[in-house]
Amino acid sequence: MYICAEYDIVDPKKFIVRQRYDMERIQLQDNKRDLAVLVGLRSPVLREDSTDEESLEELSALVETAGGQVVGSILQSRDKPDPHSFIGEGKVEEVKTMVTLEGATLVIFDNELSPSQIRVLTELLGVQVIDRSGLILDIFAQRAKTKEGCLQVELAQYQYLLPRLIGMWTHLERQAGTSGKGPIGSKGPGETQLETDRRHIHRKIDKLKEELEEVRRVRSTQRQRRMKNEIPVVAIVGYTNAGKSTLLNAITGADIPANNRLFDTLDTTTRLLTVSDTLDVVISDTVGFIRKLPHQLVEAFKATLEELEYADLLLHVIDLSNPQWAQQAQVVDSLIRELKADHIPCLRVYNKCDLAFPGALPREEGSVYISAKTGEGIDRLLGAVDQKLDKGTRRVTLHLPYDKAGLLDGLYREAKVESVEYEQTITVVAVCPPKVLGQIKPYVEGWQEEKEDWE
């Protein structure tokens, strides 16, 4: 039935980026690189979705990440978007000329476009048109590796697709109308098909949510187990490419790929880290943030990002070598708020200090300056983590008289007993939380001398 027979509704990965109705797939992974023209609209009414030079530059990095090549970019300023062509007819002509001159195959808008805007622009420009969200979704689809990552991306893609179906079918119905087919007054075939597709997608979305719910359940069991062991949880967050994976590798000897491209990591990696003699933590790397992150992605990645809510400490890694670091940090802060993790203590970790950076260094109390690459400052970082999470736990040597041997039971239960020797007294080395320290103070070696420090 018309073009819709070719729709592969079942596989959104092929679908999402093919918003043109002849459904060409962007050939992101082919040898032939897509040549893209970037377009952005700066307008006060667009608020957060308005574009500037930096945002376009970032879009360009995203295109590189996706395997495409940028051949030109145009930034348009208007009081408000043109209701028909978004950027205005004159600007469309300019873009079209650039597309022809450069032989571009793709136009990517830095702003979020509605399905009908995409349709109009595609018709006017004669090449495929996608928006920033579509591009980011596609990158995520390319990168996702674990089952959980794939499920999350797929869910985001369907959620992105759903409102866009109507626009597509309106278009198809119009085509059907001009061909003179379709009984007058009846529901057009397009509409029926639209309903079928919608139902199908709703079913898919429900199923994906169920599967993700299962993932969430497993996670919460693991979390409960960790809480029982009282191992503090530290989460590394930050803008994409800030150096999160490099940092986790540097401090835990993990072997996570760290590449100079956006959204390298989509799956959380968790490691056990010994911070100091008295502190072990569980530390994880998370997916990077970016401005204008499609909200469907934030929604879908909640299962992964839920970990943040339960963290005891956030390490917010900031790439100081990026002139945009302050804005990037703001984006991360607001996503932390959106994910309801803003009540958690957060340590700002200024990274890439081995590189020259423009402007004055931010001098914030309690922040740390490091180079995850050279290892500089890592000791200070661990010291700061220890301080933040230190709940007064200490490693002590005890000399228990034999008539107090009963205290050992409590120690085994509430502290980490490292060694016990039976000599004239019972000599115990243990890592004790403050509550336990209170009970055993008189038997702690050196306690009399250090009494004042302790109280």
Nearest to 168 by CA among 24, 23, 36: 23
Name the strand (E) or helix (H) holding 233: strand 233-238
Scored b (16 or more CB within 10 A) or e, 403-416 reads eeeebbeebeeebe
Tell me how far, at minimum, the Cβ of 387 lies from ligand GTP, in Å: 22
Tell me how far, at minimum, the Cβ of 269 lies from ligand GTP, in Å: 10
- The site that binds ligand GTP (CB under 6 A) totals a number of residues, namely 23
Where do runs of H (alpha helix) occur along 179-236? 189-228
Of residues 34, 49, 58, 264, which one binds Mg ion by CB under 5 A?
A: 264
Structure tokens that stand for 313 in this block: 């400490």
348 vs 352, beta carbon nearer ligand GTP: 352
Nearest to 275 by CA among 431, 430, 370, 385: 385
104 vs 290, beta carbon nearer ligand GTP: 290
12 vs 149, beta carbon nearer Mg ion: 149
Task: Confirm or deny that 372 is annotated as ligand binding.
Answer: yes
368 part of the interface to ligand GTP, by CB under 6 A: no
Tell me how far, at minimum, the Cβ of 268 lies from ligand GTP, in Å: 11
253 part of the interface to ligand GTP, by CB under 6 A: no
Tell me which of Mg ion, ligand GTP, none is bound by residue 152, counting a contact when its beta carbon lies within the kind-specific cut-off of 5 to 8 angstroms.
none
> What's the N-to-C CA distance of the chain in angstroms?
82
The interface region with ligand GTP, picked from 75-83, 102-110, 206-214, 234-242 by CB under 6 A, is 234-242
Cβ atoms of residues 441 and 397 within 8 Å: no
CA–CA distance from 183 to each of 170, 176, 180, 327, 361 (Å)? 16, 11, 9, 56, 70
56 vs 242, beta carbon nearer ligand GTP: 242
Tell me how far, at minimum, the Cβ of 51 lies from ligand GTP, in Å: 22
352 part of the interface to ligand GTP, by CB under 6 A: yes
Tell me how far, at minimum, the Cβ of 374 lies from Mg ion, in Å: 18
CA–CA distance from 255 to each of 172, 246, 349, 375 (Å)? 50, 9, 21, 15
Site string for ligand GTP, 148-187 (x = CB under 6 A): ----------------------------------------
Tell me how far, at minimum, the Cβ of 244 lies from ligand GTP, in Å: 4
Name the strand (E) or helix (H) holding 439: helix 434-440
Task: Confirm or deny that 352 is annotated as ligand binding.
Answer: yes
Structure tokens that stand for 237 in this block: 């967050």
In 266-393, DSSP assigns E strands to 269-276, 279-285, 313-319, 346-351, 368-369
Q: Give residues with Cβ within 8 angstroms of 350, minimum separation 6.
A: 318, 320, 361, 362, 367, 368, 369, 370
160 vs 263, beta carbon nearer ligand GTP: 263
Task: Confirm or deny that 238 is annotated as ligand binding.
Answer: yes
Task: Confirm or deny that 310 is annotated as ligand binding.
Answer: no
Tell me which of ligand GTP, Mg ion, none is bound by residue 372, counting a contact when its beta carbon lies within the kind-specific cut-off of 5 to 8 angstroms.
ligand GTP
Task: Confirm or deny that 185 is annotated as ligand binding.
Answer: no
The Cα–Cα gap between 38 and 106 comes to 9
The interface region with Mg ion, picked from 34-42, 241-249, 389-397, 416-424 by CB under 5 A, is 241-249
Q: Which residue has the tokens 């060409």?
A: 24
Interface residues toward Mg ion, by CB under 5 A: 244-245, 264-265
**Known binding site for GTP: residues?**
238-245, 263-267, 285-288, 351-354, 371-373
Interface residues toward ligand GTP, by CB under 6 A: 238, 240-246, 258-260, 262-265, 288, 351-352, 354-355, 371-373
